[in-house]
Structure 1
């Protein structure tokens, strides 16, 4: 068994995809409710610091780059591809990175669908003098802040590890995520287990034995 954890494509990370899909659903549902309940430029309540105001945005987040819908469609697609490449560059993506990418991909997909179907993005969160925005915008910005923290502030994680110290990030059978359990690791998808059974004579690494219903 290889001591280096194999990279896994982003479409097999079900936790990240579930987060992205959840953000996408919340964004689309909230926009549907606003379009159904409020006329264009109508606010609820009519006055106040925090309101829901139905607006159309042909630009990017928070109203910048107006009337660039077609260009922003391509930018959104390229942005999602870049996020996938960032994920791919990590042998074992950290939970914080997966959170960041899930938020951004879900938000980008939500706004992208708007641009494709209705040629503008529905915004509705109206707070004081801040530009009106939506769930997707907030999700993207939050994800970017987390991503900036990961690359600029957080200490780098050695995710090339294996064996007892690093474990296996992904299942060697189905590429599912491996979770640490007593005495080894267990796949969250197929349930296959790896456990530590001994040391080589050199003492510098551990030998893992695959146990369970499936074997390599």
Structure 2
């Protein structure tokens, strides 16, 4: 793993942990501050599960799966070519998001969430910077897969 990899991953993890700590230190659990009326709130919540609270309270399961995922992602990052920016960026985002939420699970036995949106009347589950990082990482992989398929289809391999 290169120094650049460590720096980018560390910056994202720090942003995640700092924002979580600011919210946890300044708000009561389930307190909500409306930022954009009817659309965006800062709401301090905790989650002992995965996305949408699935598998709530299954900490040992999360520890095992997370350690396996981290080992796989680090090994992939170490094998990734330096000029393959899409794959490196995806792995940076996935590793950072995984590490940010793993820290919370180990230290607190729950994940701290605070970004709360209502989109077209749907009150979206509350999330955090690590969740954004994970989602963007998956998005980069999907984008690269689509672009790669398109290049192969048009003979631009």
Shorter-chain TM-score range: 0.7 to 0.9
Name the residue aligned to 1:5: none
Aligned positions of 1:106-121 closer than 5 A: 106-121=96-111
Name the residue aligned to 1:137: 131
Name the residue aligned to 1:124: 114
1:23 aligns with 2:17: no
1:153 aligns with 2:146: yes
Q: 1:70 aligns with which of 29, 45, 60?
A: 60
Name the SS for the 1:153 alignment partner.
helix
Q: Is the 8 A contact 1:62 1:137 kept in 2?
A: no
Name the SS for the 1:55 alignment partner.
strand
Question: What's the C-alpha RMSD, in Å, of the aligned pairs?
Answer: 2.0
Which deviates more from structure 2 when the two are superposed, residues 107-116 or residues 62-71?
62-71
Q: Structure 1's 94 and 135: CA in aligned 2 closer, same or farther, altered over 3 A?
A: same
Q: Is the 8 A contact 2:66 2:102 kept in 1?
A: yes
TM-score when normalising by structure 1: 0.62
Superposition misfits of 4+ residues, deviation over 3 angstroms: 88-93
Q: Structure 1's 62 and 138: CA in aligned 2 closer, same or farther, altered over 3 A?
A: farther
How many residue pairs get aligned? The number is 145
Alpha-carbon distance in structure 2 between the residues aligned to 1:93 and 1:82: 20
Aligned positions of 1:77-96 closer than 5 A: 77-92=67-82, 94-96=84-86
Which string of whole-angstrom CA distances, capped at 9 and with x for unpartnered residues, describes residues 128-184 of structure 1?
11111000011011101112332x223389xxxxxxxxxxxxxxxxxxxxxxxxxxx
Which string of whole-angstrom CA distances, capped at 9 and with x for unpartnered residues, describes residues 31-85 of structure 1?
1011111100100128632001111100113432222222112211111111123
Mark the runs of 5 or more structure 1 residues left unpaired by the alignment: 1-9, 158-216
Q: Is the 8 A contact 2:33 2:42 kept in 1?
A: yes
More relative contact order, 1 or 2 (CA 8 Å, 6+ apart): 2
Name the SS for the 1:67 alignment partner.
coil
Alpha-carbon distance in structure 2 between the residues aligned to 1:145 and 1:75: 21
Alpha-carbon distance in structure 2 between the residues aligned to 1:148 and 1:84: 19
Q: CA deviation at 1:93?
A: 5.2
Q: Which has the higher helix share?
A: 2
Q: Is the 8 A contact 1:87 1:93 kept in 2?
A: no
Alpha-carbon distance in structure 1 between the residues aligned to 2:69 and 2:116: 26
TM-score when normalising by structure 2: 0.84
Structure ID, larger Rg: 1
Q: 1:48 aligns with which of 38, 41, 50?
A: 38
